[in-house]
Structure 1
Amino acid sequence: MKTLSLFLLFFPALLWAQTATVRGTVRDRDGKGVPFASVAVTGAPIGTTAGETGTFTLPDLPAGPLTLVASAVGYQPAQRALTAVAGQTQTVTLTLGGGQELGEVVVSGTLNPVARLESAVPVEVYNPTYFKKNPTPSVFEALQTVNGVRPQLNCNVCNTGDIHINGLEGPYTMILLDGMPIVSGLSTVYGLTGIPNSLVERIEIVKGPASTLYGSEAVGGLINIITKNPEKAANVAADAFVTGWGELNMDLALKAKKGAVTSLFGVNGFVYDRPLDKNGDGFTDMTLSKRISVFDKLTLARPEGRVASLAARYLYENRWGGQMQWTPEFRGGDSIYAESIYTNRAEIIGAYQLPIPGQNVQLSTSLNTHHQNSVYGTTVYRAQQNIAFGQLTSTHQLGRNQLLLGTALRYTYYDDNTPATATADTLRPGNLASQIWLPGLFAQNELRFNEHHTLLLGVRYDYNSRHGNIFTPRFNYKFSPDAQQTFRLSAGNGYRVVNVFTEDHAALTGARQVVFAEQLRPERSYNVNLNYQRLIPVGQGLLGFDASAFYTYFTNKITPDYTTNPNQLIYDNLRGHAVSRGLTLNTDLTFGFPLKAILGVTLLDVYQTGQNEEGALERSRQLLTEQFSGTFALSYTFARAGLSVDYTGNLYGPMKLPLLGPLDPRPAYSPTFSIQNIQVTKRLGSQLEVYGGVKNLLNFRPDRRSIARSFDPFDKQVVFDGDGRVVPTASNPNGLTFDPSYVYASNQGIRGFLGVRYTLTKGK
C-alpha cells in the first residue's frame, strides 16, 4: 500500500519528466527554408534558432499539448499547436510582411482593403514611427524623407509650397484625408499643415496617375493620410517640441467613448514669432506663423462591423514674411514690403456603409471651404473656394473576380479678385465666380487567377461642365513567381483641370501681370510603370528593395512662362508635349542586431518639347526639378539603456531655376545640396519619452541673392519701356525686377531641438 501511495504521489512528475525531441523546418510560402528563424515554445523557456536551411531541433520538450511559435525578420510570426512525441517532425510556414509591413492593409490603390503584398497597384506605406525619426511641425515638411517626394517652396518670402512626386509639380498631386479628396488647389499646402501628427495612423503614397478612381488632380500621384481609428487609439497622446530658432509645435489627441460612439479629438498649435535675417538680405529668413488646427473624428459601433464615421477639421493661420521692420500697420502699403496671409479652412468628411444584407455599399462625402485673405506687397488677393464631393461605391465578389462599381459628384465654387474670375465683357467689366459640376462613373475589376497572377482593369467617365466628356482607363498586372519577389506593370492615363491662381504662387508675388494666351484646355497624361519588389534574407537580417521605372507623356500641358517678359506671367497650352521619366529605388535593410537602414534614390528626366520663335520643336528642361535625389534613415537602438539614435537626410541634384532674363547674374542651376539631421530618443517607462537633436547638420543655406533686388521690392527704381519690359540702367545694369520666386530650399540653417512625447493607453 505504501508503494502504491508513493507511485500516485509522483506519477504527475514522472509524466512531466517524459520528454521528446521535435525536429522540423521553417519554410516560406514556396517551401523554401527560412534561414536563422527563431523557434520557441510558449509558456516555457525553451527555444532555438534555425540553421541556414531553416531546419531546427527542440530537445527535451515536455510531453503534452504545446504551442510552437516561429518568427524571422521580415516575416509575420506563426503559431502551430502540437503534442510532443519522440521522433516527430514539424513544418512551420511563415508569410513575408513583418519587417517591410507588406502584410499591412492598404486602400489607396484600389479603394478596397488589401494586403500591401497582394495589391496589384504599388503602394508605399509610412507609419508615424518613420516620421518620428525627424520630428516636424507638419506632414508637409515630414515628406522630405520620402524618396521621390519633395516638398517644394515656391516663395522666399511667404514660404508657400507644394509637393512634387517624381518631378511633377504640386498641382499634379492629389491629397486625400481618410480616402476623401481635399480637392482644393491649395491642398498640398493647407491640406498637409495643421493635421496633428498624434492622429495619423499611416500615410499611403501612390506614384503615377490614379484618375480612374479619383478623377482630376490625381495625375502625378496621390497622398492619402489615414487617421487613427478612435476605437483603437490611445486615451491620451501628446507631443511637443521647440527648436533653437524659437519654433514651438504642440500636438494633443484625446479619446472618449460614450455608448456606441467613440471620439478622437486632436489639436495642433504652431508658433514661430522670431524674425531672423542671418543671410543679410533685409528679409526674414523664415515666415513667421501662428497656426491652430482642431480635429475630431467620431465612429459609431454598428452591427456586423459596418462603417460609420464622421470627421471635421478647422484650420486658422496667420503668417507673414518680408522686410525685417514690417509690422501689420504696413499691410498693403508701398513703403515696407511683406507678404501677409490669413487663412480660414474647414473640412467635413464622412463615411457610411449602407445596411444592405450581404452587400458592401458605402457612401462617402467631403465638404470643405477655404477662405484666403492675402497681401503680397500692394497686391491684394482674396479668394473663396467651396467644394462638395460625394461618392457611392459597391463591391461584389464574383468567384475570383472582385468588382467595384462607383459613382461620384463634385461641385467646385471658386471666386477671387483676379482675372481668373473676371468677365470677358470689356465694356462691362465685372466678376463672375467659377462653378464646375463634375459627375462621374467608374468601374474596376480585379481578377485573381491564382496566388501568382492578378489582373486589374478599370475605366472612368467624367463629364466636366466646362470641358465636356473625359475618359480615363487603367491597367494593372501583378506577377509573383515566388513569395520573395513581385512584378507589377501599370498603365493608364490622367487628366487635370487647371485653376491657375490657386496653384501658382508666382502669379501673385512680385507684382507680375498675368496673361492668358488662350482658353486653357485640360491637360492629359499617359503613364507606364514597371515595379519590381524583392525580399532577400541576409544572415539573420533581411534586405528588401523596391524598384520602379516610369514614363509619363503629357499633352496640352500648361507651363507658366517666366522669361518672355520678366514683368508678366504667361499661361498657355504647350504646343508640343512634355515627358516625365525616370527610375526610383527604395531599399530597406534590417540586421540581426538593432540597426535598420532605409535608403532611396531617384533619377529623373523631366522636359518639354515646344515650338520656338522659328516654329521648330525645341526641348527644354522643366524648372525646379532635380535630375537625381536620395533619402536615407539610419536607426540604432540600445535596448537596455532605452536609447535610440536616428540619422536622417536627403540629397538633391541641381535644379534649373527661373531667371529674369539673359542678364540675370544669379546661377541658372542650384548646387547639389543635402539636409541632414540627427536625433537621440530616451524612453522613460512605457508612457514617456524625451528626444532631442540637431537639424540641418551641414548648415546648408541658399545663395543670399535668391531674392532679386531685395532692396527695392516695389520696383520704384526700375525703368520700364512702353511694352512693360525692364530697361537696363546704371543703377540696374542687369535689368532686374524684384522677384522672390528664385527658390529651391529653405533659408533655415543649423538648429537644435528638444521635445517630449506622452502616451496613455487604456488601463494604464
Structure 2
Amino acid sequence: MNFKLATIYILLFSISVSALAQKESRTDANLVGHVTCCGEHIPFATILIEGTTIGTTTDETGHYRIMNMPVGEFTVTAQALGYAPKSVQIKMEAGQTKEIKFDLKKDVLNLEEVVVTGDRNKTNRRDASVIVSTISPKVFEFAQAATLSEGLDFSPGLRLENNCQNCGFTQVRMNGMEGPYSQILINSRPIFSGLAGVYGLELIPENMIERVEVVRGGGSALYGSNAIAGTINLILKDPITNSYEMDISRGSIGAGLEDANPSSDFTAKLNTSLISSDSKTGMALYGFYRKRAPFDANGDDFSELSEINNTTIGSRMFHRFTNRSRVSMDVFHIHEERRGGNKFQYPIHESVIAEAVEHRITTGALTYDQFFREHDKLSMFVSGQKVDRDSYYGAEKSLKDYGLTTDFSYHAGAQYHLHLNLAEITLGLENQGAWLKDRKLGYPDLDNIQLNVEGTDTTFQVPHTENVTIADQETNTFSAFGQYDITWEKLKITAGLRFDHYQVNDYISNDDKSGSVLSPRLTIKYDLFNYLQARASYSQGYRAPQIYDEDLHIETSTARKVLHENDPDLKQETSHSIMASLDFNKKIGNAYVGVLAEGFYTKLMDAFSNEFSDPDSTGTVTYTRVNADGGATVAGINIEVNVVPTEKLMFKGSFTYQSSKYENAQEFGETSFLRTPSDYGYLAIDYQPIKKLGFSLTGNYTGSMLVPYFGNTLPANSEGELRESNPFYDIGIKARFNWKLNGATMQFYGGVKNIFNSYQDDFDYGHDRDPGYIYGPGLPRMIYAGIKISNLIH
C-alpha cells in the first residue's frame, strides 16, 4: 500500500471513530455577548474557544451567541482584522447562560493579525519568527483586481510580469527570482500543479481568497523544494457567518488611446456563506465569471492581450463532530478559455497566428483536525487536482499544432503540533506525486506517393495522421519534516529540518532521476524594544530536474517557434539563503508608523540557466535548461513603509533594490538575470472622508531591465539582441460610494487603471513578430465601473 492510500485510510478511519465514539450531549451551557471598540459594535468579529473547534462570529449588529458549550473552564478569544485580540477566562456550567462583553483596542498596523504561513501554525504576525506580509481583500479592492495575478504586485519583493504577447503567460518574481523559485500554496498545501501553474495566477479569481500570506526567503524545511525565493499562501474564504455579496463590473481597455480600439472586460462575482444554528456545520460558496475581449495595442490586427473566458465555481465546507474535532473540505472547478493572435472570429487553425488553451481544472482537498490535551493538534490532509488542457500553438493555418495535456497531482500527509511550556514542536510526513502527459495531436496531412499503374507513373495523395507525445513524466516526493520553537522572554529561536526523497521518471527520454535532500532552516527573532524587532534566518533549498510550468508554454510566430526542454545531464539546483530584517512599529504623535527593512542574499549552486539553439528548417528554436557554470547570486533589500496618520487616511508602500547575477556569462554574454529590474516597488493610499465615500490610489514602479529581442526588425539569421527597457510608472485611482439598503449595503464604484498609459510602446509588429518581447505593466489605460451589494460592507 503506498503512502497516499494509507493516509486516506487513516483520515477516513479517524473521522469515523471521532463521529461514533465522541457524541456530544446538550448541556444548555450558553455563551452570549457583544464585541465593541470605542463605543461602536464590531460586526463579523470572530469568537474562538481556545483548544477546541468551537467558534462563531458576531452578526451585523456586533452580537454573538454559542449554544450548548461543554462544561468546564475555557479561554474565550475575540479577534477581528484591524483590532488587537482579547482573551477572557470563563467557567461554563450546565443550564447556565454566561455573558462576555469584549471591548477591543485598534490594531491599526495589523501587528496582531493571525497568520499561518510563517511557522505552519497559527500565530500572531508580531510573534512569528519570520516576516509574514499579508495582501488583504482591501488591497484587491483598492486595485480593482479581478484575479490573484492583479494583486500580487502589492507586496514587498513581488513583481508580476507578462511573458507572451500572444497568450498572456504570466509569472511572479520574488526577490528577483523567476516563478518556479516560489511555492504557491492553497491553505498551506501545494495543491496547484505545475501544469495549472502555467496560467494559474490569472486563473484564480480574487473572490475565492480571504487573504494572501507572503513569506520571502527559503522555507524548504516546511514547504518543499520550490520555496527558494519564498512562499505565496492563498487562504480561502471560510464560512464564518451568514453572508452574501454580489459584484458586477465592466471595463474598457485602451480607452482614449489613438492607435487602439478599446476592448471590454466584464466580470461578475458571487459569494455566500451559510452556518447552521448550532455553528457545527458551515458552507461557503463562490462563483466567478469573466469575459475579456482581445486587445490590439499597435493596430497590426494581432493581439497584445489575449481573449479570456473564465467560469469558476467552488465551495469550502466544514463540520464539527465534537468540540475538539473538525473536518473541512474544499472543492472548486475552473473552466477557462484563452486565445491570442488574430482572426478571432475564425476557427483557431484559420488564423495566421494563434496561441489558444482551454483549461478544465477540478480540485478537491480534505483536512481533519483533532485537538489533544489543551492545545496539541493533529492534522491529516489529502488533496488532488485533475487538469485537462486543450491547446493550439500554431502559425500559417497549420493543422499539426493542436495538443492535449492531461495531469493529475496529489498531496497527502499528517502533521502534529505539540505545545510545551516554553517550546513548540511540529512533526510531519507528506507525499506528493503527479502524472503528466503532453501530446501533439495529429491532423490529416497529405503525402505524395508515386505508384506504377499499368506501366505509367501515377502520383497519389494519401492522408495520414500522427500523434506525438511531447512529455510523459511521473514525479513523486516523500518528505518528513520537523520544527522546534523555543521562546525565552524577548528571544525566539526556530530550527527546522526537512528530508525529501524525489523520483522523476521521464518516459520519453527514459531518463530517470532521483535524489535525497536534507534542507535545514534556522530563524531567530529578538525584541530589541516593544516597538522594534530584529529577525535573521538561514535556509537551504533545492529544485529537482523535472518539467516546470514554462516548459509547457510555447511562443509562436510565422518566423519562429520556441520550445523548452531539459538537458539530459541536468542536475538538481541547490540554494543557500540568508535573510535579516528590522521591523519598527510605533505610534508617533497621532500617527501609527511601521517601517520594515529587510536584506536578502541567496547563493544558487548548479543554477538553472537557458541555452537556445539556432532555428531549424521549420523555424523552431529550442531553449534547453542547463546548469550554469559557477552558479548565481541574488541579493538586495526590501523597504516597506506603513503610515496611518488618521482613521480616514492610510499610506502603504515598498521599494526593492537588488542584484541578480550569474558568476559566469550566460545568454548574450550577460551575467545579469534577464527581464529582472534592479529596482521596483508599489504604493497604496486610501482616503475615506466620510463613512459613505472613499478614494484609493494605487501605483507600481518598474525599473529598467534587459529584455531579449528576436523580432523581424533584425537581419535574417540574427541571433537576437538585448534591449534595455525604460522605467514604468503605473498609477490607478478608484472612488466608491456606499448606500445603506435595509440590512445590506449597495456600493457604487468606478475608476481608471494606468491613468497615464505607462505602457510598452515598441511592441513587435505583424505575423512574424517576437511574441516574447513584452515587458512592463500588464494593462494599458482602462476605465471601469461597477456595483456591489453585500451585508459585509460596513
Please classify the TM superposition score into its range, dividing by the shorter chain length: 0.7 to 0.9
CA contact (8 A) 2:542 2:572 kept: yes
C-alpha distance in 2 between matches for 1:74 and 1:760: 19
Tell me the CA shift for residue 282 of structure 1.
Answer: 2.5
Map 1:58-457 to 2 at 5 A.
76=84, 98-188=107-197, 190-230=199-239, 232-245=240-253, 246-258=264-276, 260-273=280-293, 275-323=294-342, 325-329=343-347, 331-332=348-349, 336-354=352-370, 359-377=376-394, 378=398, 379-417=401-439, 433-450=472-489, 452-457=490-495
Match of 2:383, as an amino acid? S
2:732 paired residue number: 677
The verdict on how the C-alpha distance between 1:77 and 1:638 changes in structure 2, with shifts beyond 3 A counting, is farther
Q: Please give the secondary structure, in 1, of the residue aligned with 2:481.
A: strand
Match of 1:436, as an amino acid? T
C-alpha distance in 2 between matches for 1:496 and 1:363: 26
Match of 2:393, as an amino acid? Y
1:668 paired residue number: 723
Tell me the CA shift for residue 75 of structure 1.
Answer: 7.5
The verdict on how the C-alpha distance between 1:234 and 1:696 changes in structure 2, with shifts beyond 3 A counting, is farther
C-alpha distance in 2 between matches for 1:149 and 1:317: 25
Give the number of aligned pairs. 639
The verdict on how the C-alpha distance between 1:355 and 1:277 changes in structure 2, with shifts beyond 3 A counting, is closer
The verdict on how the C-alpha distance between 1:357 and 1:561 changes in structure 2, with shifts beyond 3 A counting, is same
Match of 1:336, as an amino acid? V
C-alpha distance in 2 between matches for 1:150 and 1:74: 26
Does residue 1:635 correspond to 2:693, yes or no? no
CA contact (8 A) 1:533 1:547 kept: yes
1:587 paired residue number: 641
C-alpha distance in 2 between matches for 1:557 and 1:492: 17
Tell me the CA shift for residue 418 of structure 1.
Answer: 7.0
Tell me the CA shift for residue 747 of structure 1.
Answer: 6.3
Match of 1:397, as an amino acid? H
Tell me the CA shift for residue 745 of structure 1.
Answer: 3.0
Structure 1, residues 631-687: CA drift from partner, whole Å, max 9, x if none? 1011111115x1111011110101110123986797611110111100001011152
The verdict on how the C-alpha distance between 1:467 and 1:41 changes in structure 2, with shifts beyond 3 A counting, is closer
1:691 paired residue number: 749
Tell me the CA shift for residue 365 of structure 1.
Answer: 1.6
Does residue 1:557 correspond to 2:607, yes or no? yes
Does residue 1:523 correspond to 2:554, yes or no? no
Does residue 1:571 correspond to 2:590, yes or no? no
139-148 or 123-132, larger mean C-alpha shift? 139-148
2:501 paired residue number: 463
Structure 1, residues 80-138: CA drift from partner, whole Å, max 9, x if none? 9xxxxxxxxxxxxx999811111011111111111000000111112101221111220
C-alpha distance in 2 between matches for 1:475 and 1:355: 27
C-alpha distance in 2 between matches for 1:264 and 1:739: 44
Q: Please give the secondary structure, in 2, of the residue aligned with 1:491.
A: strand
Q: Please give the secondary structure, in 1, of the residue aligned with 2:475.
A: strand
Match of 1:456, as an amino acid? T
Select 1:623's aligned residue among 666, 674, 677. 674
Tell me the CA shift for residue 208 of structure 1.
Answer: 1.1
State the TM-score, normalizing by the size of structure 2. Answer: 0.75
Structure 1, residues 215-271: CA drift from partner, whole Å, max 9, x if none? 1221211111112220x1452111221102310111101223457321111100001
2:62 paired residue number: none
The verdict on how the C-alpha distance between 1:293 and 1:137 changes in structure 2, with shifts beyond 3 A counting, is same
Match of 1:265, as an amino acid? L
C-alpha distance in 2 between matches for 1:211 and 1:291: 33
The verdict on how the C-alpha distance between 1:757 and 1:498 changes in structure 2, with shifts beyond 3 A counting, is farther
C-alpha distance in 1 between matches for 2:702 and 2:107: 31
Identity of aligned residues (%): 23
C-alpha distance in 2 between matches for 1:473 and 1:95: 40
CA contact (8 A) 2:246 2:269 kept: yes
C-alpha distance in 1 between matches for 2:334 and 2:543: 26
Q: Please give the secondary structure, in 2, of the residue aligned with 1:108.
A: coil
The verdict on how the C-alpha distance between 1:644 and 1:574 changes in structure 2, with shifts beyond 3 A counting, is same
2:18 paired residue number: none
C-alpha distance in 2 between matches for 1:618 and 1:459: 38
294-303 or 114-123, larger mean C-alpha shift? 294-303
Tell me the CA shift for residue 336 of structure 1.
Answer: 1.6
Q: Please give the secondary structure, in 1, of the residue aligned with 2:607.
A: coil
1:727 paired residue number: none
1:755 paired residue number: 786
Instruction: Identify unmatched segments of 5+ residues in structure 2.
Output: 1-36, 42-80, 89-102, 254-263, 442-467, 504-512
1:34 paired residue number: none
Match of 2:757, as an amino acid? N
C-alpha distance in 2 between matches for 1:114 and 1:381: 46
Larger Cα Rg: Structure 1 or Structure 2? Answer: 1
What is the CA RMSD across the aligned residues, in angstroms? 3.1
Q: Please give the secondary structure, in 2, of the residue aligned with 1:171.
A: helix
Give the strand-richer structure, 1 or 2: 2
CA contact (8 A) 1:194 1:292 kept: no
Match of 2:382, as an amino acid? T
Does residue 1:472 correspond to 2:519, yes or no? yes
Q: Please give the secondary structure, in 2, of the residue aligned with 1:605.
A: strand
CA contact (8 A) 2:760 2:776 kept: yes
Tell me the CA shift for residue 468 of structure 1.
Answer: 1.6
CA contact (8 A) 2:393 2:554 kept: no
The verdict on how the C-alpha distance between 1:96 and 1:186 changes in structure 2, with shifts beyond 3 A counting, is farther
Match of 1:402, as an amino acid? E
